[in-house]
Amino acid sequence: MFRSFPSVRADGHSKRWRLAACVLCAAALAAPPAGASGKDDHDRARQAVQAGQVLPLPTVLERLQREMPGQVLEVELEQERERWIYEIKLLTPAGQLTKVKLDARTAEVLRIKSRDDQRTGR
């Protein structure tokens, strides 16, 4: 059964965003990305967050929202050459599908790639 949520006024936007961030964080830590080796990747990601090597997802999403507003569609946490990367797919207010790669330790935007514009930024 699906429930619809009431409209959220501007003052409730922050609460809705935090709730979405918490849900996404739980999902990102609970299930490894496709092609991952399962439990080992999950444990490594959790340990990286606990050790401070990776910022918690809600923190990253809050910072990203200030720089690049949009609806978060998907989040992946991956390790690329000893560096943790958050890959976040957003739907911008203009309706553009955008993939953002961030350094998971600093939340620095590394690359922005949109579906309409295949050029990369930053």
Q: What is the pLDDT, as a whole number, of residue 122? A: 45
pLDDT greater at residue 28 or residue 103: 103
Q: Specify the pLDDT at position 39.
A: 65
**Measured between alpha carbons, how far is 19 from 16 in angstroms, rounded to an integer?**
5
Tokens (6 digits) for 100: 């953002």
CA angle 56, 10, 88 (to 5 degrees): 35
Say what the pTM is.
Answer: 0.62
Cβ-contact 29, 45 below 8 angstroms: yes
Asked if the model's pLDDT at residue 35 lies above 60, the reply is no
